[in-house]
Every structure is written in structure tokens, then in C-alpha cells.
Amino acid sequence: MIDCVTTWGVADDRTWLDGFGMNRNLPKIKQHPLLFDENRQAKPCVYQLIDAAEQLCRYKEAEP
């Protein structure tokens, strides 16, 4: 069973990765590392995580 999911933020509109480790002389590259997009809409990975958790729960329930 999944007890906890930890992320480094919620949505791509405000991510600390946008400026992390970047050389000041290079152009900024927008990063998209989180579960929700810039409009705070769920990305496909959110539904994949939910499906995986549900499958794991069904598997655990079926164990003797």
C-alpha cells in the first residue's frame, strides 16, 4: 500500500526548478516536473498514479 507521496511542489506554474542550476548567461528553460500543469490541470501521470495505487490495493486485498 502507498502510505505517502511526496512532491517538490504542486503545479508547473510555480516550480523551483525554473532557475535552479542555470548559468545566468544562458536562456531560461521552462521546466515541467510536477503533477499539475501551469493551469493546475492534472497531467496524465496523475491518473496513472491513481490507477497504479488502485491496482496495488486490489492485489493486496486478493493476497491470502
pLDDT digits (tens, 9 = 90+) for 13-23: 988 887 776 67
Domain range annotation of the chain? 16-62
Scanning the chain, the segments in alpha helix (DSSP H) are: 44-62
Residue 2: what pLDDT? 67
Residue 37: what pLDDT? 95
pLDDT digits (tens, 9 = 90+) for 23-55: 778 777 788 889 999 999 999 999 998 898 899
Residue 21: what pLDDT? 67
Say how far apart CA 46 and CA 48 lie, in whole Å.
Answer: 5
Residue 22: what pLDDT? 67
